[in-house]
Amino acid sequence: MKNLLYFKELNKKLKNIQKIAIKNKYNEILMPLREILEVIDKSNYNDKNPISNEINLEQYKTQILAYYLSRFDHYDIYPNLNQNEALNLIANLLNIKKSTLRLARDYFDSKTTKIKSKESPYLKIRKGIDMPLGKKAQKIFDYYNYKKRPEITKDVLTILRKNNATTT
């Protein structure tokens, strides 16, 4: 719901800028502004269909963990384990293969590179798989992309606790 309010406010401000540009004959910005407003008008946003719905942690747990591992690695949740041990433990807790988790993480790697280098410069930057994300993965990326580490870590720890995990 919060994103919807920001979206409506952005739309309102852009329309005000458009009015000023028309009044003052700033033709160089009018065309890009019109294009942006057309996209917003076509986006079909409303209160019943907000931009970002809440995420069901259980339904998306593999993608959430993969996103987290891509963006922050495993150090906050399993500081005493190496990467291989952490991946094994998480995969076992989620009842998936380690290769499934690693592959899901690799898809996020190419998308989280810029974020990761700012937030965690000590982490190794993995190239990942540069392909479009699937629907579930894209939803996770859109939902968590602007969230801070503590918020995401809280969701990850909730998932791990529900799957009988404890941090070491």
b/e map of 40-59 (b: 16 or more CB within 10 Å)? eeeeebeeeeeeeeebeeee
Q: What angle do CA 91, 88, 161 make, to 5 degrees?
A: 55
The pLDDT tens digits along the chain (168 residues) read 455 556 677 777 777 777 776 777 666 666 666 666 666 655 544 444 333 445 666 678 899 999 999 888 888 888 899 989 999 999 998 888 999 999 988 888 888 766 655 555 556 666 677 788 888 888 888 888 888 888 888 888 888 888 774 444
